[in-house]
């Protein structure tokens, strides 16, 4: 099966962008199928650093067609900004990016609603979204009556549609704020979005048709997940999630490729855990350890710059998401970040109300009450950033990786020891970490 997918197994920022760039080699198409400009994917190739929120990370490789499919919510100004950022760096996106006419558009009222809903909910109930209008846009998609799809922008009915929606949205926003709303008038929104549409027009396409042909022609396709499985709207830590299916379950619905065709799913996770925004995080370390991980891993958001909350690897959560997403193998990233630690803790089980449980709770109050059960592993206390093969890694680092794959129940295929494309170890085909460790000289 020629389909391969990269998805996050934690709460996002697992280094999916790096993996996608690496795996794009030899592919014909790279597909972003859910989320929107809330993502921030980083690709590092020598001195070149690319931070992409919207355009697939496959764009950096020449000769690959990149698709944004119906499940994504499109933010036209962000796409245009990224095109303008890439052009002087030698990447002309126009010929190699197609945007689905079926994808919904984030409109100015969505961004205002996102801000307003966030302000209305305070304290531990605040989701802490990226304020990119993602939730309100998906809400209107499901609600249907006030939604705008990319293909609508270039239809003669577009101006009238905006006028009608603005009338309703202005009433709602004013009623909630108790004053005038900040929503620009309909005519200026029409003018602004018509200008975006003029620039995007050559890229607006029927990506379902393109993908169906690509599948029939056995083209090699890479699917680029955004966010992480624990942020999945249906299966994540609801309500502290994003508004799309960010686990492997979303690949088919978001792209339009049949589920039984998608074979190889690589789940990306860090050697520890991070989360941005609100919500329970059982293994969070609000102490020197968390601070140390944040500094060593430069754990600050790619999209919002917010400091990421940091904690120990949670094997209960990742085992749940690896099973949920049908992961075939794991890419374990940030091996270098733990290099200075003497002891590394891993959460191997949960206690809920004093009892051991063998599942990841689906209820947020229960998840808030779980107590992690930790197991301690020796650190490697050695720089690993130059390692390119398993032999270059300290035994303790390979053993730690092996413990993780045993706990999660899926084999590790990649180990990442730094941000650069080159700082990656591919576990050779046919080799397991268990075999490797058993043969490795002490």
- Which residues bind to Mg ion, rule: CB under 5 A? 13, 40, 302
Q: Tokens in use for 144?
A: 């249907």
Question: Residue from 115, 128, 177, 300 that binds ligand IMO (CB under 6 A)?
Answer: 128
Q: Which is nearer to ligand GDP, 25 or 160 (CB)?
A: 25
- The rounded distance, in Å, linking the Cα atoms of 357 and 5 is 31
- The residues with which 359 forms a beta bridge, in sequence order, are none
Residue 113, exposed/middle/buried by CB under 10 A (0-12, 13-18, 19+)?
Answer: buried
Rg (C-alpha) for the chain, rounded Å, is: 22
Contact 283, 291 (CB under 8 A): no
In angstroms, the CA 320 to CA 408 distance is: 8
> Can residue 8 be called a binding residue for ligand IMO (CB under 6 A)?
yes
* Cis peptide preceding 228, ω within 30 of 0: no
By CB under 6 A, residue 249 contacts ligand GDP: no
- Sign of torsion over alpha carbons 154, 155, 159, 162: negative
For residues 296 and 285, give the distance between their C-alpha atoms in angstroms, rounded to a whole number: 14
Q: Does 334 bind ligand GDP (CB under 6 A)?
A: yes
Alpha carbon distance 81, 246 (integer Å):
24
Q: Which of 355, 425, 416 is nearest to 390 (CA)?
A: 425
How many CB atoms neighbour CB 349 within 10 A?
Answer: 16
Distance of alpha carbon 225 from alpha carbon 125, whole angstroms: 26
CB neighbour burial string for 81-95, b if at least 16 within 10 angstroms, e if fewer: ebbeebeeeebebee
Residue 416 contacts which entry, ligand IMO, Mg ion, ligand GDP, none (Cβ below 5-8 A, type-dependent): ligand GDP
Cα–Cα–Cα angle for 101, 112, 254, rounded to 5 degrees:
30
Contact stretch for ligand GDP (CB under 6 A) within 34-42, 174-182, 251-259, 364-372: 34-42
> Tokens at residue 304, please?
């919002």
The contact mask relative to ligand GDP for 393-432 (x = CB under 6 A, - = no) is -----------------------xxxx-------------
Q: Pick one of ligand GDP, ligand IMO, Mg ion, none as the site partner of residue 291 (Cβ within 5 to 8 A by kind).
A: none
Residue 35 near ligand GDP by CB under 6 A: no
Q: Residue 231: which of ligand GDP, Mg ion, ligand IMO, none does it interact with, CB under 5 to 8 A by kind?
A: ligand IMO
Segment contacting ligand GDP by CB under 6 A, of 16-24, 204-212, 283-291, 376-384 = 16-24
Q: Least separation, in Å, of the C-beta of 268 and ligand GDP?
A: 6
Measured CA to CA, the distance from residue 46 to residue 419 in angstroms comes to 10
Determine which residue in the list 227, 249, 271, 423 makes contact with ligand IMO, applying CB under 6 A. Answer: 227
When the beta carbons of 289 and 302 are compared against Mg ion, the nearer one is 302
Q: Which does residue 242 touch among Mg ion, ligand GDP, ligand IMO, none (CB within 5 to 8 A, set by kind)? A: ligand IMO
44 contacts ligand GDP (rule: CB under 6 A): yes
Catalytic residue status for 209:
no
From the candidates 13, 21, 140, 314, which is the catalytic residue? 13
- Verify whether residue 402 is a known catalytic residue: no
Cβ of residue 163: shortest distance to ligand IMO, in angstroms? 27
Which region, judged by CB under 6 A, interacts with ligand IMO, from 122-130, 198-206, 354-362, 424-432?
Answer: 122-130
Please give the residue ranges that form the binding site for ligand GDP (CB under 6 A). 8, 12-18, 40-42, 44, 297, 302, 333-334, 336-337, 416-419
Please identify every residue annotated as catalytic: 13, 41
């Amino acid at each position: 099966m020629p389909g391969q997918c990269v998805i996050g197994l934690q709460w996002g920022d697992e280094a999916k962008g790096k993996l996608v760039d690496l795996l794009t080699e030899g592919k014909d198409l790279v597909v972003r199928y859910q989320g929107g400009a809330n993502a921030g994917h980083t690709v590092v190739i020598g001195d070149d650093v690319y931070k992409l929120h919207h355009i697939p990370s496959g764009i950096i490789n020449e000769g690959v067609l990149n698709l944004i499919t119906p499940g994504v919510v499109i933010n036209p100004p962000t796409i245009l900004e990224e095109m303008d950022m890439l052009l002087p760096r030698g990447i002309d996106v126009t010929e190699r990016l197609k945007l689905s006419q079926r994808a919904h558009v984030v409109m100015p009222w969505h961004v205002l609603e996102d801000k307003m809903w966030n302000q209305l909910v305070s304290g531990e109930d605040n989701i802490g979204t990226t304020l990119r209008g993602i939730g309100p846009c998906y809400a209107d998609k499901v609600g249907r009556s006030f939604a705008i799809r990319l293909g609508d922008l270039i239809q003669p009915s577009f101006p009238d549609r905006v006028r009608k929606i603005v009338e309703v949205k202005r009433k709602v926003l004013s009623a909630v704020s108790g004053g005038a709303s900040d929503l620009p008038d309909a005519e200026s929104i029409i003018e602004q979005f018509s200008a975006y549409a003029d620039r995007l027009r050559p890229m607006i396409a029927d990506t379902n048709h393109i993908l169906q042909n690509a599948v029939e022609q056995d083209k090699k396709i890479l699917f680029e997940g955004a966010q992480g499985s624990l942020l999945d709207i249906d299966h994540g830590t609801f309500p502290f999630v994003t508004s799309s299916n960010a686990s492997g379950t979303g690949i088919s619905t978001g792209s339009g490729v049949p589920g039984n065709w998608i074979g190889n799913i690589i789940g990306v996770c860090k050697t520890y855990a991070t989360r941005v925004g609100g919500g329970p995080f059982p293994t969070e370390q609000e102490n020197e350890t968390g601070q140390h991980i944040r500094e060593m891993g430069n754990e600050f958001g790619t999209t919002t710059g917010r400091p990421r909350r940091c904690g120990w690897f949670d094997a209960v959560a990742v085992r749940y998401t690896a099973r949920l997403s049908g992961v075939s193998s794991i890419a374990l990233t940030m091996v270098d970040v733990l290099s200075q630690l003497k002891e590394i803790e891993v959460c191997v089980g949960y206690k809920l109300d004093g009892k051991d449980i063998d599942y990841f709770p689906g209820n947020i109050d229960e998840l808030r009450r779980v107590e992690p059960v930790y197991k301690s592993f020796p650190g490697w206390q050695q720089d690993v950033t130059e390692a390119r093969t398993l032999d270059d890694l300290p035994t303790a680092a390979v053993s730690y990786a092996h413990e993780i794959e045993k706990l999660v129940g899926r084999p590790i295929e990649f180990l990442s020891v730094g941000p650069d494309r080159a700082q990656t170890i591919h576990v050779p085909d046919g080799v397991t970490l268990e075999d490797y460790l058993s043969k490795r000289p002490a």
